[in-house]
């Protein structure tokens, strides 16, 4: 199996807390077959109220208590821009994350910040390696690659930690599918089954297609039961 396939399978296994064998992965050539594979391994919800509904009611209560938001404006279709404007998003989001008894979605960095962080790490590593080599040469110190390598790694990690703190101000991107309160509630229910119970068939399909969408970079609405991972999703 290719690296993309392995990463996708690992994400699905983690998302549903299941194990998928290599044979099962090879047989699941379409999204529908992968969906059936997941259904065979998970416990379905038998309650009349789906887990995302329970998550929404819990989210609504938390918003009212922590952000003093009126109940009437909290609906599944409410856009997060209304309750989490970009100017106050990190502060409000952090307050919610710290005061709910379940895993809250985590804000993300813009793609450009990720590239910047990697570039800084590479440049830092190269700079410290060059600096150490000059020191060893100037003071006629026997070059110890293991020691110098470890030193470069530690210095690079220190720089990365410092840059990580500086770049936190740019961590404002809402996770995919969380543009509305209903989307956030679904995200919460998917990642907190111990709090809100098992998923029903529709929730499992939504969760599976979201995982595929995030991993392969395709729109969730473009993922159909008959979609072939190789021919249609270019995996």
The string of DSSP letters for 141-181 reads: PPP-HHHHHHHHHHHHHHHHHHHHHHHGGG--BPPTT-SBH
Q: For residues 160 and 170, is the Cβ–Cβ distance under 8 A?
A: no
Asked if residues 181 and 59 have their Cβ atoms less than 8 Å apart, the reply is yes
Q: How far apart are CA 144 and CA 49, in angstroms?
A: 64
Q: Is the pLDDT of residue 25 over 60?
A: yes
pLDDT band at 27 (very low <50, low <70, confident <90, very high): very high
pLDDT for 92 equals 95
Of the listed ranges 57-61, 177-181, 190-194, the least confidently predicted one is: 190-194
Position 235 scores a pLDDT of: 78
Q: What is the pLDDT of residue 9?
A: 93
For residues 209 and 16, what is the distance between their CA atoms, to the nearest angstrom?
12
What is the percent of the chain where pLDDT is above 90?
Answer: 43
pLDDT at 104: 93
Q: pTM of the predicted model, to two decimals?
A: 0.62
Three-point CA angle 176, 182, 188, nearest 5°: 70
Domain ranges of the chain: 1-44+199-235, 51-108+173-196, 111-156
Q: What confidence category does residue 34 fall into, taking pLDDT thresholds of 50, 70 and 90?
A: very high
pLDDT for the residue numbered 146: 47
Phi and psi angles of residue 25, each rounded to the nearest 5 degrees, phi first: -65, -40
| % of the chain residues with pLDDT over 70 | 83
Average pLDDT over residues 212-229: 90
Comparison of pLDDT for 120 and 29, the residue scoring more: 29
Mean pLDDT score, 26-50: 85
What pLDDT sits at residue 172?
87
CA pair distance 173, 155, nearest whole angstrom: 29
């Amino acid at each position: 199996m290719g690296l993309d396939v392995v990463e996708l399978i690992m994400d699905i296994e983690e998302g549903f807390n299941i194990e998928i064998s290599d044979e099962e992965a090879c047989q699941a050539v379409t999204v529908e077959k992968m969906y059936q594979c997941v259904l065979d391994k998970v416990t379905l919800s038998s309650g009349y109220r789906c887990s995302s509904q329970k998550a929404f009611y819990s989210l609504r209560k938390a918003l009212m208590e922590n952000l003093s938001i009126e109940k009437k404006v909290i609906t599944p279709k409410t856009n997060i821009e209304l309750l989490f404007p970009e100017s106050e998003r990190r502060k409000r989001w952090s307050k919610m994350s710290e005061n709910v008894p379940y895993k809250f979605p985590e804000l993300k960095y813009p793609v450009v910040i990720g590239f910047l962080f990697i570039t800084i790490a590479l440049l830092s590593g190269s700079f410290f390696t060059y600096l150490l080599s000059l020191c060893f040469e100037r003071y006629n110190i026997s070059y110890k690659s293991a020691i110098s390598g470890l030193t470069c790694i530690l210095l690079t990690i220190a720089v990365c930690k410092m840059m990580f703190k500086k770049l936190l101000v740019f961590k404002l991107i809402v996770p995919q599918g969380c543009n509305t309160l209903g989307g956030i509630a679904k995200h919460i229910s998917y990642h907190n089954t111990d709090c809100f119970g098992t998923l029903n068939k529709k929730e499992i399909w939504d969760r599976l297609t979201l995982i595929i969408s995030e991993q392969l970079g395709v729109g969730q609405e473009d993922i159909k039961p008959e979609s072939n991972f190789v021919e249609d999703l270019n995996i």
